[in-house]
Amino acid sequence: MAVTRRHAAVVAAAGLLAACLPSRAAEPDGRPLAIRGETVYTMTGPPITDGVVLIVDGKITSVGSALDIPLPPAARVLTGRVVTPGLIDAHTVVGLSGFLNQEQDQDQLDKGEPLQPELRAIDSYNPRERLIEWLRDFGITTIHTGHAPGGLVSGQTMVVKTVGQTVEEATILPVAMVAATLGEDSRPGDDRKSPGTRSKAVAMLRTEFVKTQDYLRKQDLADPEKRPDRDLRRETFADVLRGKLPLLVTVNRATDIDAALRIAAEFDIRLVLDSAAEAYLIADRIKAAGVPVIVHPSMRRGGMGETENISFETAAALRAKGIPVALQSGFEGYVPKTRVALFEAAIAAANGLTTEQALATITSDAATILGVADRVGSLRPGLDGDVAIFDGDPFEYTTHCIGVVIDGRVVGDEAH
Amino acid sequence: MLAHASCRHAPIGFLIVSLLLGCGVPAGAQEKPVAFVGAEVVPVSGPPISPGVVVVARGKIIAVGPVASTEIPADAERIDCTAKVVMPGLVDTHSHVGDGWAGDGSGPIQPDVRVLDSINVRDAGFRKARAGGLTTLNIMPGSGHLLSGQTIYAKLRDASTIDDFFIRDGDGRPLGGMKMANGTNSQKDPPFPGTRSKSAALVRQKFLKAQDYRRKVKDSKDDPAKSPDRDLEMEGLLDVLDGRVVVHHHCHRADDIMTVLRLRDEFGFKVVLHHVSEAWKVADQLARAGAACSVIVVDSPGGKIEAMDLSLATGAVLEKAGVPCAIHTDDPITDSRLFLRTAGLAVRAGMSRDKALEALTLAGAKMLVLDDRIGSLDVGKDADLIVLSGDPLGLRTKVLQTWVEGRKVFDRDDPEDRLYAVGGYGAGREQKAHACCTDERFSETK
């Protein structure tokens, strides 16, 4: 019952906690941190039995068997049954979409225009948002967050750590992708500017890329007078055309997935598919295109409409085809205000993925898809000291996350 | 809606003819006894029995006990449940499956309106609920009214019409509750309330009117000349005032919870408090008041201001305080197929395993006043049970079979059932209309 009392206290003291969120630095006293687990999932090879992760100055310096790695005498030691890399939520809106769900804390979607790639996630992200702490307590140390599905192109996304007093302190990648939506959700309002049909949505997107090709061509003109004025929309789309930024396309029906693949092929765009409820219907085509998929939350509600054919087994089906797969908390418009990527990966682990495969969807494979695998997502020397510690199988409902470490600093040490 | 949905699968004429012939009506309870042999039997009303056996016949449980000492009738069909778990069918005290609506926008208090008049029994959600091990649902209208109408207690038998779901009282009347709500969901423009005080005042005024009606009925001493005109709204409220029908009251904030109890004490109705996001703040008061709580377990707080302090530990806090505690799905807020999971999360936050399993079964049955029929594996109760592949609270455990009154209504080995259990192409659509003589024709035209 200690958990219960502590939990209640945490809830009651939420306001206080918000004022003292951990910042990013090594342990205050500069001591090395050693994390020892009965099983250590490094995600670079088979799990290590009785393993140790050593972190010095915020970075991992060694990983291996406890028999092989001498612990510095001054090291602070944390232990748990299972140790994993800090977990990654491969797509969320937390930090832009606040937990109160009131107008003043919902900045994930501007419905004024259908095409707004210039909207930066860093200008809306609230690092003190309560749900960031909520996710962190379940071992989530990195999130890919930003503008929500719902506009044809709703804005940019970014990758941040779940700590920091300011967005600058939290940020790994200030611009990660450009978020687009195809299908029914590409028209958020009754405005006349948004596409009214699927074909219109595709035509509008293609038009933008054709115009951007033109913009890029004119930028290279010898006569500076003939070069175009700076244009934030064009600049962002230009980064997509140049391959600097992937286009993250939220789609569910096979028809719309196919349309996204068609656009990507036409303009040689780096595509990342998001949600993709019916991806299992055209997995071969997705595989052939070499496109990764950030699959919808496993527990996303289906019901009628575009997600009526949703399946618990989609992540497993795509993985079996060799398609890179990550999992996410997605967007929730009501209760609960966010899902938890750990829980979503758990359901995938109960529906076709092995424990290690399911872990990869929220660690190493997620990091690779997001382009941050040189920083986070696995336990190997040189990477950030981000670790999650559990008192059992990380995915079991009744297991607790008992420790969270970010950049070598313990940011959570209570059972959740 | 129902007729329209049927048309999608077949000419309506075929359906009507088949219904008139009675082809679509499920047969009665099973002929031969069925014995579930060798499982870890979790009766909920007592300690687990392993290896145990449950024998059912004519829709009822006729024996529960250890394999070694429990007699199995010679003619019984034996189902080998070695290494499996058998427990009571799950009881969901709060579900919205079936697209049922009751009260409309005409006013905040509509006790005359019945959700049973709008439920689509072919909704895919019922297939999914069976796949989750649910056998009894309290199907409720929404929380956008102070009183949105009459709920229905539904047994998830194979169904052609809503009648097939009914649980009837001694007079043959279908049993159900009354849905009420306070807090922000039911606040909107007039004639709906704009504040919490107005919400309470509107409810009190209506109950005073019902008390007055009851007095007139009583004073008439069954003399038709003196009795008041029939009034469906008043009759609905009389069921509540007389304790025949339990109020199922949506509430989140601690003060809203206490307001419900204040009204309960003024008018003397029976009530179950639902959702109770902030019950952990007033657990001792709830215990002293003898209140029963049905809790929702969701993955994060927020989504609306009332749920900002929602805690996974509510069940644990209530258990410690001695407050009766059930868990519900509020499907579609949580998925019926993951009902067992919600109890797992409650245990994660400190609830005991025994109480968590009870919260999915017997505690809910008591709140629906159906515990003489369902909620535990005891001789004489309805043969509603589920066969699990392992620990009920284990992540990788699967619901293998769901039985209602001695008939199997879900089997994970059946490809169609499996589709609803895991999802996939077609899992969101309504079930095919089942009618004996025309099934082939339906599938041809599909």
Tally C-beta pairs within 8 A across A and B.
141
- For all residues of chain A together, what is the average pLDDT? 92
DSSP character at residue B166: B
Would you state the pLDDT for residue A26? 57
A350 touching B, CB under 8 A? yes
- Residues B185-216 pLDDT 10s: 999 999 999 999 999 999 999 999 999 999 99
* Structure confidence at residue B443 as a pLDDT band (50, 70, 90): very low
The nearest alpha carbon in chain A to B125 belongs to A303
Residue B99: pLDDT over 70? yes
Q: Which residue of A has its CA nearest to B392?
A: A397
* Span A191-219, average pLDDT: 94
Q: Which one of B298, B323, B334, B395 would you mutate to disrupt binding with A, by most A Cβ within 10 Å of its Cβ?
A: B395
Distances (CA, A) of B158 to A408, B118, B121, B173, B367: 57, 18, 9, 20, 24
Return the structure tokens found at A310: 């949703």
Looking at chain B, which residue has its C-alpha nearest residue A398? B348
Test B320 with A4 for CB contact under 8 angstroms.
yes
A398 contact B CB<8A: yes
Chain A 327-346, residues with CB within 8 Å of chain B CB atoms: 332-340, 343, 346
3-state secondary structure chain A: CHHHHHHHHHHHCHHHHHHCCCCCCCCCCCCCEEEEEEEECCCCCCCEEEEEEEEECCEEEEEEECCCCCCCCCCEEEEEEEEEECEEEEEECECCECCCCCHHHECCCCCCCCECCCCCHHHCCCCCCHHHHHHHCCCEEEEEEECCECECEEEEEEEEECCCCCHHHHEEECCCCEEEECCHHHCCCCCCCCCCCHHHHHHHHHHHHHHHHHHHHHHCCCCHHHCCCCCHHHHHHHHHHCCCCCEEEEECCHHHHHHHHHHHHHHCCCEEEEECCCHHHHHHHHHHHCCCEEECCCCCCCCCHHHCCCECCHHHHHHHCCCCEEECCECCCCCCCCCCHHHHHHHHHCCCCCHHHHHHHCCHHHHHHHCCCCCCCCCCCCCECCEEEECCCCCCCCCCEEEEEECCEEEECCCC
Return the residue in A6, A398, A414 with the most chain B beta carbons within 10 A, the one to mutate for interface testing. Answer: A398
Helix (H, G, I), strand (E, B) or coil at B385: strand
Q: Which residues of B touch A313 (CB under 8 A)?
A: 422-424
User: A2-84+379-412 falls under which CATH superfamily?
Assistant: Urease, subunit C, domain 1 (2.30.40.10)
Suggest the residue from A397, A399, A400 to mutate for an interface test with chain B (most B CBs closer than 10 A): A397
Structure tokens at B349: 């936050």
Cross-chain residue pair B301–A337, CB shorter than 8 Å: yes
How many Å is the Cα radius of gyration of chain B? 22
Domain assignments of chain A as residue spans, ordered by start = 2-84+379-412, 87-370
Q: Is the pLDDT score of A13 beyond 90? A: no
pLDDT digits (tens, 9 = 90+) for A373-383: 999 999 999 99
Nearest Cα neighbor of A182 from A215, A217, A152, A160 is A152
pLDDT for A304-345, tens place per residue? 789 999 999 999 999 999 999 999 999 999 999 999 999 999
In sequence order, what E strands does B42-146 have?
A: 49-57, 60-66, 77-80, 85-88, 90-95, 134-139
Chain B residue with CA closest to A355: the answer is: B396
Question: Using the beta-carbon criterion (under 8 Å), do A134 and B300 form an inter-chain contact?
Answer: yes
A101 contact B CB<8A: yes
Of A8, A281, A351, which is closest to B422 when you measure between CB atoms? Answer: A351
Integer CA distances (angstroms), B124 to B121, B131, B336, in order: 9, 11, 11
**8 Å CB contact of B307 and A131:** no
- The confidence score (pLDDT) of residue A304 equals 74
Is the minimum CB–CB distance between B316 and chain A shorter than 8 Å? Answer: yes
A19 has pLDDT over 80:
no
Partner B, chain A 165-224, Cβ-Cβ below 8 Å: none
Residue B30: per-residue pLDDT: 59
**Nearest Cα to Cα of residue A137 among A279, A22, A254:** A22
| Helical residues (DSSP H) of B95-227, grouped into ranges | 124-131, 196-220
Tell whether A13 is within 8 A of chain B (Cβ): no
Average pLDDT over residues B308-330: 98
Same-fold call for A2-84+379-412 versus A87-370: no
Rounded Cα distance, A378 and A23, in Å = 22
End-to-end CA distance of chain B: 19
Indicate the helix (H) or strand (E) that contains B340: helix B339-348
Contact, A162 vs A172, CB < 8 A? no
The predicted pLDDT at position A28 comes to 66
Task: Report the pLDDT value the prediction gives residue A7, as an integer from 0 to 100.
Answer: 46
| Residue-level pLDDT at B442 | 41
Cβ contact, residue pair A3, B302, below 8 Å: no
Structure tokens at B57: 């016949």
Per-residue pLDDT of A214-230, as tens digits, reads 999 999 999 999 999 99
Contacts of A4 in chain B (CB under 8 A): 313, 316-317, 320, 349-350
Separation in Å, CA of B7 to nearest CA in chain A = 17
B312 touches chain A (CB under 8 A): yes
| Contact check, Cβ <8 Å, B394/A349 | no
Instruction: Tell me if residue B430 falls in helix, strand or coil.
Output: coil
Q: How many helices (H) and strands (E) does chain B have?
A: 13, 17
Q: Is the pLDDT of residue B61 over 80?
A: yes
The answer on pLDDT for A189 being more than 90 is: no
Of B302, B303, B428, which is closest to A308 when you measure between CB atoms? B428
Class of domain A87-370: alpha beta
Nearest CB partner across the interface for B303, out of A303, A332, A340: A332
The DSSP 8-state label assigned to residue B86 in this structure reads E
Given CB atoms, is B1 within the 8 Å cutoff of chain A? Answer: no
Q: Give me the mean pLDDT over the B29-49 stretch.
A: 93
Q: Would you call B243 an interface residue with chain A, using a CB distance cutoff of 8 Å?
A: no
Q: How far apart are CA A376 and CA A362, in angstroms?
A: 11
> What is the token pair recorded at A373?
């695998």
CB-based contact, A227 to chain B, within 8 Å: no
Cβ pair B301:A307 closer than 8 A = no
Whether A145 and A96 have beta carbons less than 8 Å apart is answered as: yes
Q: Summarize the confidence of residues A390-411 as an average pLDDT.
A: 98
Please name the residue that has the structure tokens 């309560």. Answer: A130
Query: What residue of A is the nearest CA neighbor of B395?
Result: A396
Q: Starting from the edge strand earliest in sequence, which strands make up the sheet with A401-406, in order?
A: A59-65, A48-56, A33-40, A76-85, A387-390, A401-406, A409-412
Pairing of strands B247-251, B178-181: parallel
Size of chain A in residues = 416
pLDDT exceeds 70 at position B4: no
Name the residue of chain A whose CA is nearest to B356's CA: A398
Nearest CA in chain A to B430: A304
User: In which region does residue B14 sit, left (phi positive, over 0), alpha (psi from -120 to 50) or beta (all else)?
Assistant: alpha
Task: State how far the Cα of B370 lies from the Cα of B376, in Å rounded to an integer.
Answer: 11
pTM: 0.92
User: What pLDDT shows up at residue B66?
Assistant: 98
Kindly list the residues from chain A whose CB atom is less than 8 angstroms away from the CB atom of residue B283: none
Strands B60-66 and A401-406: what pairing? unpaired
Whether residue A239 has pLDDT greater than 80: yes
Q: How far apart are CA B84 and CA B387, in angstroms?
A: 7
CA dihedral B91, B96, B102, B104 (to 10 degrees): 150
Distance of alpha carbon A223 from the chain centroid: 43
Report the gap between the CA of B130 and the closest CA in chain A (Å): 16
B130 vs B439, which has greater pLDDT?
Answer: B130
Q: How many CB atoms lie within 10 A of CB A244?
A: 11
Q: Is B302 in contact with A336 (Cβ distance < 8 A)?
A: yes
Cβ neighbours of B428 in A, within 8 Å = 302-304, 307-310
> Nearest residue of A to residue B275 by CA position?
A335
Provide the pLDDT for residue B298.
Answer: 97
Give dist(CA B292, CA B270) in Å, integer. 10
Q: Going from the N-terminus, what domains does chain B have, and what CATH number goes with each?
A: 34-89+379-413 (2.30.40.10), 90-367 (3.20.20.140)
A136 in reach of chain B (CB within 8 A): no
Do the Cβ atoms of B401 and B387 come closer than 8 Å?
yes
Q: Identity (one letter) of the amino acid at B152?
A: I
Interface membership of B194 toward A (CB under 8 Å)? no
Residue of A nearest to B343 (CA): A397
Res. B28: pLDDT tops 80: no
Rounded to 5°, the CA angle B28-B34-B40 comes to: 130
Determine the distance in angstroms separating the CA of A101 from the nearest CA of chain B, rounded to an integer: 5
Token pair belonging to A145: 């967050």
The predicted structure's pLDDT at residue B433: 56
